[in-house]
Every structure is written in structure tokens, then in C-alpha cells.
């Protein structure tokens, strides 16, 4: 049991980065992982700033259309931030 505790202590904080892209080097995978907060920022904006919530539309085409409009809003906002040098 003592050996297990020592092993767990030595490995504490270590986690694998898994990808299905066989072309990326380990350094590139790590760089992509470090970019994750930017992706999560967009998801946070999607839920808070744009207040996307469940909708009461019965037609799947309308739901997809509405989601596409929100996607375009996020895309345009991201491009504007990049152009302005904010992000």
C-alpha cells in the first residue's frame, strides 16, 4: 500500500494529452492544448453574452438555422478581436 501511495504522489498532476492526429508532434499537441482557453472563452460567450438557451422550436431546420446565426456571430466577433489585436 505504501508503494501505491508513493507512486500516486509521484504522478500527481500528470495527465495525458490524447489526439487522433498522427501528424502532430508532441510539442504541437501541447501548443494546441494551451490554446484551449480561447476555445472555452467562445463557449462561455455562446452561453452568457449571446444567452443561447434551449429554444421552443419544433422544426429542426429552424433550430439549426438559429444555431448557425449564433455561430456566425461568434465567428465575426472573433475575427474582429483578431483584427483589433485584442485576443
Considering only CA atoms, which of 55, 44, 17 is closest in space to residue 33? 17
Is 53's pLDDT higher than 70? no
Q: Is the pLDDT of residue 14 over 60?
A: yes
Cell numbers at 31, concatenated: 501548443
Which pLDDT does position 43 carry in this prediction?
67
Q: What mean pLDDT comes out for the span 11-39?
A: 80
Domain definitions of the chain by residue range: 2-84
Q: Which has more confidence, 5 or 36?
A: 5
- The pTM for the full model equals 0.44
- Categorize the per-residue pLDDT at 84 as very low, low, confident or very high, splitting at 50, 70 and 90: confident
CB neighbour list of residue 67: distance below 8 Å, 6 or more residues apart: 52
Amino acid at each position: 500500500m505504501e508503494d501505491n501511495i508513493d507512486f500516486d504522489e509521484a504522478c500527481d498532476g500528470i495527465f495525458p494529452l490524447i489526439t487522433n492526429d498522427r501528424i502532430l508532434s508532441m510539442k504541437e499537441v501541447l501548443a494546441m492544448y494551451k490554446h484551449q482557453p480561447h476555445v472555452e472563452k467562445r463557449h462561455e460567450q455562446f452561453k452568457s453574452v449571446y444567452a443561447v438557451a434551449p429554444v421552443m422550436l419544433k422544426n429542426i431546420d429552424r433550430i439549426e438555422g438559429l444555431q448557425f446565426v449564433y455561430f456566425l456571430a461568434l465567428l465575426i466577433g472573433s475575427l474582429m478581436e483578431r483584427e483589433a489585436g485584442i485576443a
